A and B are shown apart, each in its own frame.
Chain A
């Protein structure tokens, strides 16, 4: 048995292999689960594939979802580099979406860019708050981001959207009506006829490339990674660790905010009355399966995006689209399992090497 296990998991030490293993195994398990309920699993997977890639329409849906997942995944991945676990992408996304919906109402040229910038700022400030709480007040980011999520949900969904920002004249329907529609100038332009593919996907690709460059090719990115790898060592070599953590959390929140803007400017065109996306939480899965790197995050975002888009087709054979979430959860369970990603989690826990645990900087 140990030998089998070693063979199974040895390639997984390489993050890319770990991701592929996790994805393939989780898809296999889901396949068996479908077959076990007596349904035609082959046909189901055929539907899944055609729902994700069969023609411009499905491809557009995949791209829309992949773009949002890329951004939330990058959000989580950026926080990983400084050794922080950002559970708060969902709340940051909500603020970004709200900022986009509010700014997008102005019918001025460049409204789209303004809305995107506002969304990044909105999400970024929520992320920065978590970073500040961590650095200055010593509040663990897992706790603070969970709490900040729920503050954001309740304040935005329970007060701002049905209250001060509600569309005028929606009367009794006020709780589901959402905000006023944004202006056409703020819409993300559609790129293909017969498909909802919009500027969001190219934008997400560009952002992924920029994040990759920032993290691996710039001094700032190096300092972030150093701060994540060993706080004490980074601090001792003159890196302002607290500052760097705050910066990374601001960027992390900004990326999640951008993801919210894509949803509003690309598909919703207003802040809807009911807005439960789950994309922020999915971003955690995307980043984990992607091994915390920009490229891995992009790849796993596309896979999960395709899975989400294709899963809607599974309803044809009576399988709920929650199937996509199930597969995603399984993939994360596998990623969490033995030895995979040991380097990432060593970094997360601030251990430069086994048995060497640097103290927190003063």
Chain B
């Protein structure tokens, strides 16, 4: 359980980022890249300023900045959202390694970064935030007028526009906040858990967050629950691997594959009628006619 509270937060934040962007109608394959920028910026900010909290803020900002590129390309220029997200991931892979090299002269890990303080159970504030934020997010999305507007531009932007919602602006805000959430997720990896940046971060966690978002049917609570479930599978694998290795059984991969395979099965069987937001991935042209 302790491990779960450590593993889950990066996934929870990134998955919520995915939910926010996609509920507003913008596909976000770039979560992985945004997490990477966030993880690196958090470590760098923490090292340079000496405060992990400033690092965390840097992580959120870097994630949002990366998301800004995605928003610019996919909203302003109506680029294909999948392409734009993939490009972001590629740039993140190269640019962050490059920055790591030029800033800290290492291609493996950054120097140790001041990490967030932990309570007596060994958890940082982010672990508890990962429990609270999904609930707040859910209440906002389902109850607040602005949450309704976000859902409207993701389901039927034209209708929302006729009611006076500025579709592109709202979508841009959602994508930026999505990037900030993913950035915080990445920061959780570097200044929250490890206390340094590792060149391999986030090692597919962004894609796992994407799977959690789908598994959770694009709802904040569902996505967070899926993230906790995936983290539990990860933790169980680590606990079991010691005893399994002792018995000369190397089944780690099967455990790790489980969350992804389960998500596929759920999608394939159409359990509980999984459905993406109607206008997800469809560029919006304010002057077009649908």
Say whether B170 faces chain A, with CB atoms less than 8 Å apart: no
| Other-chain residue from B97, B249, B254, B260 in contact with A150 (beta carbon distance below 8 A) | B260
A118→B192 CA distance, assembly (Å):
45
Q: 1/0 contact trace for B222-259 toward A, CB 8 Å?
A: 00000000000000000000000000011111111100
B90–A328 CB distance below 8 A: yes
Give the secondary structure class of B's interface. Answer: helix
**Do B257 and A329 have beta carbons less than 8 Å apart?**
no
| Chain B residue at smallest Cβ distance from A38 | B102
Residues of A within 8 A of B268 (CB): 133, 137, 139
CB-defined contacts of A333 to chain B, threshold 8 Å: 69, 73, 84, 87-88, 91
Interface string of B66-96 (1 = CB under 8 A from A): 0001000100011110111011111111110
Docked complex Cα distance between A324 and B90 (Å): 10
A159 touches which of B86, B87, B91, B252 (Cβ 8 Å): B252
Tell me whether A336 is interfacial, beta carbon within 8 Å.
Answer: yes
Which residues of A have CB within 8 Å of B210? 143, 146
- How far is it, in angstroms, between the C-alpha of A153 and the C-alpha of B92 when the chains are bound? 21
The reply to whether A146 and B211 form a contact with Cβ atoms under 8 Å apart is yes
Nearest-Cβ distance from residue A276 to partner chain B, whole angstroms: 9
B289 at the interface (CB under 8 A from A): yes
Q: Say yes or no: B250 contacts A154, CB within 8 Å.
A: no
Cα–Cα, bound, A337→B98 (Å)? 24
As a 0/1 sequence over residues 42 to 79 of chain B, the CB contacts with chain A under 8 angstroms (1 = contact) are 00000000000000000000000000010001000111
Most buried by B among A137, A147, A166, A284: A147
A164 to B28, CA, bound (A): 37
Question: A255-285 vs B: 1/0 string, CB under 8 Å?
Answer: 0000000000000000000000010010011
Known: A159-B252, A348-B80. A285 touches B90 (CB 8 A): yes
- Residues from 125 to 163 in B contacting A, C-beta threshold 8 Å: none
Q: Does any Cβ of B come within 8 Å of A323's Cβ?
A: yes
Question: Which chain A residues lie closer than 8 Å to B164 at the CB level?
Answer: none
Q: Does A214 contact B (CB under 8 A)?
A: no
A319: which B residues are within 8 A, CB to CB?
Answer: 98, 101
Complex: A15 Cα to B110 Cα, angstroms: 41
- Bound-complex Cα distance A144 to B276 (A): 14
When the two chains form the complex, which single residue of A140, A149, A159, A281 contacts B253, counting CB atoms closer than 8 Å? A159
Q: Which residues of A contact B107 (CB under 8 A)?
A: 320, 322
In the assembled complex, the CB of B208 is this many whole angstroms from the nearest CB of chain A, namely 7
* Chain A residues whose C-beta falls within 8 Å of the C-beta of B79 in the assembled complex: 336-338
Q: Do B264 and A142 have beta carbons less than 8 Å apart? A: no
The smallest C-beta distance from B275 to any residue of chain A, in angstroms, reads 10
Interface check A87, CB cutoff 8 A: yes
In the complex, what distance in Å separates the CA atom of A338 from the CA atom of B288?
Answer: 17
Choose among B92, B102, B253, B263 the residue that contacts A155 (Cβ–Cβ < 8 A).
B253
Report the separation of the CA atoms of residues A160 and B94 in the bound assembly, to the nearest whole angstrom.
30
Asked if B8 lies at the interface with its beta carbon under 8 angstroms from chain A, I say no
- B264 contacts A325, CB within 8 Å? no
Answer yes or no: B286 CB below 8 A from chain A CBs: no
- A321-362 vs B, CB cutoff 8 Å, 1 = contact: the mask equals 011111111101101111100000100110000010000000
The one of A151, A327, A337 in contact with B77, judged by C-beta atoms closer than 8 angstroms, is A337
Provide the residues of chain A in CB contact with B69, threshold 8 Å.
333
Query: CB of A71 within 8 A of chain B?
Result: no
- Are A329 and B254 neighbours in the complex by a CB distance under 8 Å? no
Kindly state whether residue B207 has any CB partner on chain A within 8 Å: yes
Closest chain A residue to B29, Cβ basis: A142
Indicate whether A148 sits within 8 Å of B98 (C-beta atoms), given known contacts A154-B257, A159-B253, A320-B107: no
User: How long is the Cα–Cα vector from A194 to B15 in the complex, in angstroms?
Assistant: 50
B90 touches A158 (CB 8 A): no
A175 shortest CB reach to chain B, Å = 8
- From known contacts A325-B94, A328-B90, A333-B87, infer whether A151 and B250 are also in contact, taking CB-CB under 8 Å: no
Given the known inter-chain contacts A146-B207, A348-B80, please indicate yes or no for A163 contacting B261, CB distance below 8 A.
no
What residues of B have a CB within 8 angstroms of the CB of A284 in the complex? 86
Closest chain A residue to B251, Cβ basis:
A159
A157 interface contact, C-beta 8 A: yes
- Which residue of the partner chain B has the closest CB to A327? B94
Indicate if the CB atoms of B253 and A158 lie closer than 8 Å: yes
By the criterion CB–CB under 8 Å, are B267 and A156 in contact?
no
The verdict on A138 contacting chain B, using a C-beta distance below 8 Å, is: yes
Closest to A136 in B: B268
Instruction: Bits for A288-305, please: 1 = Cβ < 8 Å to B, else 0.
Output: 100000000000000000
- 18 A-B pairs within 8 Å (CB atoms) are namely A87-B29, A133-B267, A147-B260, A150-B211, A150-B257, A150-B260, A154-B252, A155-B253, A166-B250, A320-B107, A322-B101, A329-B87, A329-B89, A329-B90, A329-B94, A332-B83, A336-B77, A336-B87
A-B CB proximity, top 6 nearest: A158-B253, A326-B94, A329-B90, A325-B94, A159-B253, A329-B91
